[in-house]
Amino acid sequence: MRSKSSGGLVYSTEVGRTCPACRQAIAACICKAQTTMAGDGQIRVSRQTKGRGGKTVTLVKGLALDPPALAQLGKQLRSACGSGGTVKDGVIEIQGDHCDLVMATLSNSGLSPKRSGS
């Protein structure tokens, strides 16, 4: 019988996502264990419909940016496409099929995106 669990609370309905190290909300994290960047630097743009009720979204993965810069880039891409979207877990999601427009916008920003998937 194990005496210590290796898992921990990662989401609470009260505060949302929590830091696994200090068990505080991500926004109020005191240990800043989540400051690692999620991306690997290989920017990939893809289109996906799986798990979204048939709705198409454009995904931008692999951006090695800190969360505020990632949110700013997400806002810039959403306004360039004229549609909604969000930033979740280091992935920018844009509603609709805007792969070509997203790739052009990222290229104009000095980044080098690659098309992924079909």
Contact between 63 and 92 under an 8 Å Cβ cutoff? The reply is yes
Q: What local confidence, expressed as pLDDT, does residue 68 receive?
A: 86
Taking the C-alpha atoms of residue 106 and residue 118, their distance in angstroms, rounded to an integer, is 19
| C-alpha 116 chain-centroid distance | 16
Q: Which backbone phi and psi does 99 adopt, to 5 degrees? A: -60, -45
> Range(s) for CATH 3.30.780.10 in the chain?
38-115
Give the per-residue pLDDT at 66. Answer: 83
Structure-token pair, residue 40: 């690997």
pLDDT at position 52: 85
> pLDDT at position 73, please?
93
pLDDT in tens, the chain (118 residues): 444 555 666 666 777 777 777 777 777 777 765 454 556 678 999 999 988 888 999 999 998 888 888 999 999 999 999 999 999 988 999 999 999 999 999 999 888 999 988 6
47, two tokens: 């289109």
One of 3.30.780.10, 3.40.109.10, 3.40.50.10470, 3.40.50.300 is the CATH number of 38-115, namely: 3.30.780.10
pLDDT of residue 6: 53
